[in-house]
């Protein structure tokens, strides 16, 4: 990637300098998300410029291979930002995974200690997780009126049988 830095403007080089390992280590997950967004935007810009330039050159020159060689700087810029995006994406994935593992460990520790992470009413008086409250459940088909109608039809059928 370093061999292509000569094609970048000074502001673009500043963005690439933010990918130095010492600087990346200072960023938290939100900072990495912001950096990822900026690098992705730059990558999309330069990739689009490269594709458009090469496509317009095809009609001019008559061949894709010949047209592609004219846009070497654009291709190099797109390559630099593609590599930069992969670096930031990898670091962001690592930090997000570490945060998820820390959260998982915290929840497991709370569960082992007998403290629920759910509503406070789920626990018992001594702080341990109890059985909770059992809900009564009545089987319904989706509507009170429909259930009442079904019960009435059943009652009608039973009355008809009883009248025989």
Specify the higher pLDDT residue, 139 or 162: 162
pLDDT in tens, 3-39: 667 778 888 888 888 989 899 999 999 999 999 999 9
Q: How many CA atoms lie within 13 A of 36 on its CB side?
A: 16
**Which residue, among 49, 54, 35, has the nearest Cα to 7 in the 3D structure?**
49
For residue 27, count other CB atoms closer than 10 A to its CB.
17
Compute the chain's Rg from CA coordinates.
32
CA atoms of 34 and 40, how far apart (whole Å):
10
Specify the higher pLDDT residue, 147 or 33: 33
For residue 97, count other CB atoms closer than 10 A to its CB.
10
Whole-number pLDDT of residue 61: 73
Residues 6+ apart with CB under 8 A from 66: 57
In this structure, of 50-59, 91-100, 120-129, the range with the lowest mean pLDDT score is 120-129
Whole-number pLDDT of residue 44: 93
pLDDT in tens, 58-117: 777 777 667 666 667 888 888 899 999 999 999 999 999 999 999 999 988 888 887 665
Domain ranges of the chain: 2-115
């Amino acid at each position: 990637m370093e061999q292509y830095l000569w094609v970048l403007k000074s502001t673009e080089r500043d963005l690439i300098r933010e990918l130095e390992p010492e600087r990346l280590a200072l960023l938290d997950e939100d900072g990495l998300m912001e950096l990822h967004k900026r690098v992705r935007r730059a990558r999309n810009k330069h990739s689009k410029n490269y594709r458009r330039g090469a496509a317009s050159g095809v009609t001019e020159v008559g061949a894709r291979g010949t047209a592609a060689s004219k846009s070497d700087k654009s291709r190099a810029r797109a390559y630099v930002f593609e590599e930069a995006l992969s670096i930031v994406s990898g670091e962001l994935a690592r930090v997000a995974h570490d945060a998820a593992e820390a959260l998982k460990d915290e929840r497991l520790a709370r569960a082992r200690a007998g403290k629920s992470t759910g509503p406070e009413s789920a626990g018992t008086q001594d702080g341990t997780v109890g059985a909770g409250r059992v809900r009564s459940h009545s089987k319904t088909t989706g509507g009170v009126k429909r259930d009442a109608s079904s019960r009435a039809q059943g009652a009608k059928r039973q009355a008809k049988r009883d009248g025989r």
